[in-house]
Structure 1
Amino acid sequence: MSDTLTTPQQADDLVVLDKFTGEQIAAVSQFTVEQALDAIDDAEIATATAAALPRHERAAILEGAAALLHERSESVAELIVSEAGKTIRQARKEVSRAVNTLRLSAAEALRNAGEVIPFDSFPGGENRQGWFSREPLGLIVAITPYNDALNLVAHKIGPAIAGGNAVLLKPAQQTPLTAQLLVDLLVEAGLPDNVITIVRGNRYVAQALVQARNVRMVSFTGGFATGQAIAATAGIKKLAMELGGNAPVLVFADADLDLAVEASVSGAFWAAGQNCIGAQRILVERSVFPAFLKSFVAATEKLVTGNPRLDATDVGPMISAQSAEAASAKIHEAVADGAALLTGGELNGSLLTPAVLTGVPRTCRLWEEEVFAPIVIVEPFDDEQSAIISANDSEYALQAGVFTSDLNRALRVAGAIEAGGVMINDSSDYRLDAMPFGGSKYGSMGREGVRFAYEEMTQPKVVAISR
């Protein structure tokens, strides 16, 4: 074992805080590197158990967990509010989506088993027939983020179970309780308790999981720097990574401005802006820019920031006071460079009021980087081509939004924007859990969305019979 992986024999407990009050809500044990290596060996043994589960049992387990999650949805939502800081309305929606993700995974276990191969489609194959099946990869490491602490865990372990794999799950340090709850529901629904192993720990523990030779795939959602580290150390294995975005939304003069404002406000500030497909750069045709900006700022100022447990709250806390302070620093940096702060940006612990800026220089971090905070840039453009150039002015390209009443323009712009998905007359942050999800530029690898993750987490095996 490399010296770089050496950690103390006993790791400190991980303290979990309520993201609004700052009070401790739990303390959970963490793994040392040595314990993580033991867990990898045990999990590899469990791959045989996972693969041996008949497809109907995999489906029944996933459906059963979905039913339990639906039944307990309010208590689960309350946990998300406390542990992740989402507002109660947003947390309820996340639970509903996770139920759907598990049900989609159950359907995939039954549906996507392989295909017949038409060997007689080529001369010499007339006397052959056969098929390919989709077989488990084996052992998968899933590393999940804090911003969708339930549904993004479901997006990894649901397809993995459907495909007959064992999983080593490393949840975000800030939100381990929600991940544990979902795994517990799966076990309650009948999943053998060794098929998913939760491993909590620091970056050295994560490195041990990623480097392990007997791991067949790493599925990671998180920051770009961590993704680079994983790619550099994983070795020869499959990688699926979603490393964030910097989503543009284009609003043309012929758009329904009321719709564009409403959708873009939601798209920018949902989950306190901690959303990888959230609207970060809103580009508006110059002739309607003043009207849009006035309405957008007014709608932003109506948002209620505060206690996430209250139904009236629109914007809750960020994941930590440190994250809120870092976001506030980016606002001050942009203003110092000439940007205008039109509203918001008030810091109070982990709360940051929704901020709208304009005149942001292209060299600012707010323009170049994923901000992951309740901050949005609104800028004018003069013509379609300049809007497309501005929209594509980022290394990170998950999704984009386009508002226009001209269908030809909508399709033309959607084709020109470099992104994994383009939402027309919707904000960039719309996501259906059944659709392929991922980016199109630097750092993006693979796709999520249940069917597509399932295919990433399985491998085809051909059987051909010569008669």
Structure 2
Amino acid sequence: MQVVETDDETTARLVTDPRLPVVSFTGSDTVGWRIVDAAPRKKVVVELGGNAAAVIAPDHTSSERLRHAAERIALFSNYAGGQACTSPQRVLVPRPQLAEFTALLVAATEAQVVGDPFDEATDVGPLVDEAAAARVAEWVDEARAAGATVHTGGVAQGRFYRPTVLGDVPPGSRVLDDEVFGPVVSVLPYDTVDEALARVDETRFGLSAGIFTSDLQLAFHALDVLRVGQVVIGDAPTYRSDESPFGGTKDSGQGREGLRSAIEDYTEERTLVLSDVAL
């Protein structure tokens, strides 16, 4: 393997050069689809981000299970500063349990320690730069101005953004529709499971979803109806294993990453027909 640091012009030439039959890209959907369009005859695999949701199913609403779900979502919505494409960005909760779950999630989120990522006590580190933190702040402030409630967080400090829990977020807000890529999670009520699953699919992304349930029938139903690359049952959507195919649908990209998927992408199947050959 060879690593080459290059500029945009040279990269564009590499993408279209016929001597390179496969292109694999992880990054923004704007750049990713430009690469796909520039190399229509090549094998192009693009992983372009997500807007992952978690659903708290009706069978998972005991206080103990709600607390467990809140702790898992607080952990994975904030680890790496929320800069993971499978970070839970939206949580759908049965309406009767909305207040209880929100309080548990706020407590679990406020327990996350923000600080130096080299300090072992730190749970939440900085964003990639101050511009990223400012963008997250802008999106949260937009939602707040439109009527959203900031239950905790909502403060930028240089490259850091305080872990944030939002409620009452109006439809059309960027924190719901786009990829925040920061430590922000919105809590949303639902009345029926089918409504919750439909809301999971409301964004243009389709990378990962998590369903907190022990109902096997619901698990298979979710897998059947959701337009996402993976469904995680019993946990947050933040799962990645190189042994399994990883990738999404819609604007989350095309193709799959992972060991077997990479072997298939970077090789070609060929057929050998033997006739009149002594074996």
Normalising TM by the smaller chain, what interval? over 0.9
1:267 aligns with 2:76: yes
Give the stretch that moved more between structures: 228-237 or 267-276.
Answer: 228-237
- Structure of larger gyration radius: 1
CA contact (8 A) 1:253 1:288 kept: no
Counterparts of 2:30 and 2:262, CA distance in 1 = 23
Counterparts of 2:23 and 2:191, CA distance in 1 = 43
**Residue 438 of structure 1: aligned partner:** 247
Counterparts of 1:289 and 1:350, CA distance in 2 = 31
Counterparts of 1:197 and 1:311, CA distance in 2 = 33
Q: 2:14 aligns with which of 209, 224, 236?
A: 209
| C-alpha deviation, 1:232, in angstroms | 2.1
Q: In the TM superposition, what whole-angstrom CA distance separates every residue of 1:231-286 from its partner, at most 9, and x where no partner exists?
A: 22224211001011111100023212122112111221111110001101111111
Query: Partner letter of residue 82 of structure 2?
Result: G
Measured on the aligned residues, the alpha-carbon RMSD in Å equals 1.3
Map 1:43-82; keep pairs closer than 5 Å: none
| C-alpha deviation, 1:202, in angstroms | 2.9
Counterparts of 1:375 and 1:204, CA distance in 2 = 35
Corresponding residue SS for 2:255: coil
Q: In the TM superposition, what whole-angstrom CA distance separates every residue of 1:136-184 from its partner, at most 9, and x where no partner exists?
A: xxxxxxxxxxxxxxxxxxxxxxxxxxxxxxxxxxxxxxxxxxxxxxxxx
Structure (1/2) with the larger helix percentage: 1
| C-alpha deviation, 1:381, in angstroms | 0.4
1:381 aligns with 2:190: yes
**Residue 305 of structure 1: aligned partner:** 114
**Residue 158 of structure 2: aligned partner:** 349
Equivalent pairs: percent with the same residue? 38
CA contact (8 A) 1:253 1:287 kept: no
Counterparts of 2:150 and 2:128, CA distance in 1 = 23
| C-alpha deviation, 1:354, in angstroms | 0.6
Structure 2: segments with no counterpart, 5+ residues: none
Q: 1:258 aligns with which of 64, 67, 76?
A: 67
**Residue 198 of structure 1: aligned partner:** 3
Give the stretch that moved more between structures: 255-264 or 309-318.
Answer: 255-264
- Scaled by the length of structure 1, the TM-score of the pair is 0.57
CA contact (8 A) 1:347 1:353 kept: yes
Query: Partner letter of residue 215 of structure 1?
Result: L
Counterparts of 1:234 and 1:438, CA distance in 2 = 20
- Scaled by the length of structure 2, the TM-score of the pair is 0.94
CA contact (8 A) 2:80 2:124 kept: yes
Map 1:116-131; keep pairs closer than 5 Å: none
Counterparts of 1:239 and 1:208, CA distance in 2 = 15
| C-alpha deviation, 1:395, in angstroms | 1.2
Q: 1:399 aligns with which of 202, 208, 232?
A: 208
Query: Partner letter of residue 362 of structure 1?
Result: P
CA contact (8 A) 2:29 2:253 kept: no
| C-alpha deviation, 1:358, in angstroms | 1.1
**Residue 104 of structure 2: aligned partner:** 295
Q: In the TM superposition, what whole-angstrom CA distance separates every residue of 1:292-338 from its partner, at most 9, and x where no partner exists?
A: 11000011001111111111100001111111111111000111111
**Residue 245 of structure 1: aligned partner:** 50
Counterparts of 1:397 and 1:443, CA distance in 2 = 6
Query: Partner letter of residue 296 of structure 1?
Result: L
| C-alpha deviation, 1:357, in angstroms | 0.6
1:340 aligns with 2:133: no
Map 1:19-38; keep pairs closer than 5 Å: none
Query: Partner letter of residue 52 of structure 2?
Result: A
| Higher RCO structure, 1 or 2 (CA under 8 Å, sep 6+) | 2
Query: Partner letter of residue 290 of structure 1?
Result: A
CA contact (8 A) 2:48 2:251 kept: no
CA contact (8 A) 1:403 1:425 kept: yes
Counterparts of 2:252 and 2:108, CA distance in 1 = 35
Query: Partner letter of residue 239 of structure 1?
Result: V
Counterparts of 1:428 and 1:258, CA distance in 2 = 17
CA contact (8 A) 2:207 2:252 kept: no
Structure 1: segments with no counterpart, 5+ residues: 1-195
Query: Partner letter of residue 201 of structure 1?
Result: T
Counterparts of 2:40 and 2:230, CA distance in 1 = 30
**Residue 33 of structure 2: aligned partner:** 228
Q: In the TM superposition, what whole-angstrom CA distance separates every residue of 1:332-368 from its partner, at most 9, and x where no partner exists?
A: 0111111111111211111111111111122111111
| C-alpha deviation, 1:443, in angstroms | 5.3
Corresponding residue SS for 2:32: helix
Give the stretch that moved more between structures: 223-232 or 436-445.
Answer: 436-445
CA contact (8 A) 2:75 2:109 kept: no
